[in-house]
C-alpha cells in the first residue's frame, strides 16, 4: 500500500466520527489525491486559487468537495465560484459580498467560515469578535442570499508550546459559541469549528474542533521548489 493510503487510514482510525477530515493537498500531485480518494476521502483543501482551479479541472470527474483554506483575494473569487464547496477564510464584508455575487452568477450557495485571528503572530489573517459582529449585524449582510456561513476557522501560533496552542483553540471555541448564541441560534447549519493541522489536530479535537485541515502527515513534507 502507498504511504498516502497508509497515513490516511491511520489518521482516520484516530478521528472521532463527527470530525471532518480536510485533506490538504497543496503542492502535492493529483496522483496522491487520487490515492486518498480511492480510500473514500472526498474533502480536499488547497490554499491557492490557481492550484485549486488546476486540480479541479484535472479531477472534474471525481466527486470531490474542494475547500479553499488559504487567504482569498476578492478578484480571484470568480475563478472558484463555479465549484468550490467551502471557503474557510472569510475575513471581511467586502469578500463576503463578492462571494455572494459570484455564487448568484453561478446559481449556487457557497458555504463559508469566518476566519478568526487567534495566533499571537501578526501575520495571520482573521477577524476579532467586534469585527465579526459588525459584519453580521450590518444591513449588507442581511441582503446576502447565496452564502451560508457555517462556522468559524482559525490557525494557532506556530510553536511547540502545546499550552499556547491549547489556549488559542479554547479561544476559538468560545468565539464560536458566542457568535452562535448572538447570531445563529436558530440555524442548525452553523456548526463547524475548523481548527487543527498536522502538528495539533489532536489538541484541536480535544477543544471542540469539528473539521481538521491536515496535510503533511498524510502527503509528506511539502517541497516549494518544484
Ligand X SMILES: *Cc1c(COP(=O)(O)O)cnc(C)c1O
In angstroms, give the least distance from the CB of 150 to ligand X: 17
Using rule CB under 6 A, residue 213 touches ligand X: yes
Q: Within 10 Å of residue 207's Cβ, how many Cβ atoms? A: 22
Q: Are 148 and 110 within 8 A, CB to CB? A: yes
Read off the C-alpha cell for 118: 487567534
Footprint (CB under 6 A) of ligand X, residues 57-96: 69-70
Residue in this structure with the C-alpha cell 465560484, named with its chain if needed? 81
**φ and ψ at residue 106, rounded to 5 degrees:** -100, 10
Per CB under 6 A, which region of 127-135, 159-167, 174-182, 196-204 contacts ligand X? 196-204
Using rule CB under 6 A, residue 26 touches ligand X: yes
The nearer residue to ligand X, 146 or 216, going by C-beta atoms, is 216
Residue 62: helix, strand or coil by DSSP? coil
The nearer residue to ligand X, 150 or 197, going by C-beta atoms, is 197
Residue in this structure with the C-alpha cell 482551479, named with its chain if needed? 53
Using rule CB under 6 A, residue 203 touches ligand X: no
Crossing angle of helices 49-58/30-38, nearest 10°? 60
Number of chain positions touching ligand X (CB under 6 A): 13
Read off the C-alpha cell for 137: 449585524
The nearer residue to ligand X, 20 or 198, going by C-beta atoms, is 198
Using rule CB under 6 A, residue 154 touches ligand X: no
Binding positions for ligand X, rule: CB under 6 A: 24, 26, 47, 69-70, 155, 197-199, 213-216
Amino acid at each position: 500500500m502507498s504511504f498516502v493510503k497508509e497515513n490516511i487510514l491511520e489518521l482516520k482510525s484516530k478521528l472521532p466520527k463527527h470530525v471532518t477530515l480536510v485533506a490538504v493537498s497543496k503542492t502535492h500531485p493529483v496522483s496522491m489525491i487520487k490515492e486518498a480518494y480511492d480510500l473514500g476521502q472526498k474533502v480536499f483543501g488547497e490554499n491557492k486559487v490557481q492550484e485549486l482551479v488546476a486540480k479541479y479541472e484535472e479531477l472534474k470527474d471525481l466527486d470531490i468537495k474542494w475547500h479553499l483554506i488559504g487567504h482569498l483575494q476578492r478578484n480571484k473569487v470568480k475563478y472558484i465560484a463555479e465549484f468550490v464547496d467551502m471557503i474557510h477564510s472569510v475575513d471581511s464584508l467586502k469578500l463576503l459580498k463578492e462571494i455572494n455575487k459570484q455564487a448568484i452568477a453561478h446559481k449556487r450557495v457557497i458555504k463559508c467560515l469566518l476566519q478568526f485571528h487567534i495566533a499571537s503572530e501578526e501575520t495571520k489573517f482573521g477577524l476579532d469578535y467586534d469585527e465579526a459582529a459588525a459584519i453580521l449585524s450590518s444591513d449588507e449582510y442581511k441582503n446576502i442570499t447565496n452564502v451560508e456561513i457555517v462556522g468559524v476557522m482559525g490557525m494557532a501560533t506556530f510553536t511547540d508550546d502545546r499550552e499556547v496552542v491549547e489556549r488559542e483553540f479554547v479561544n476559538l471555541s468560545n468565539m464560536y459559541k458566542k457568535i452562535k448564541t448572538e447570531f445563529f441560534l436558530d440555524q442548525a447549519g452553523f456548526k463547524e469549528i475548523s481548527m487543527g493541522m498536522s502538528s495539533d489536530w489532536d489538541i484541536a479535537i480535544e477543544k471542540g474542533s469539528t473539521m481538521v485541515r491536515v496535510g503533511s502527515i498524510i502527503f509528506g513534507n511539502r517541497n516549494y521548489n518544484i
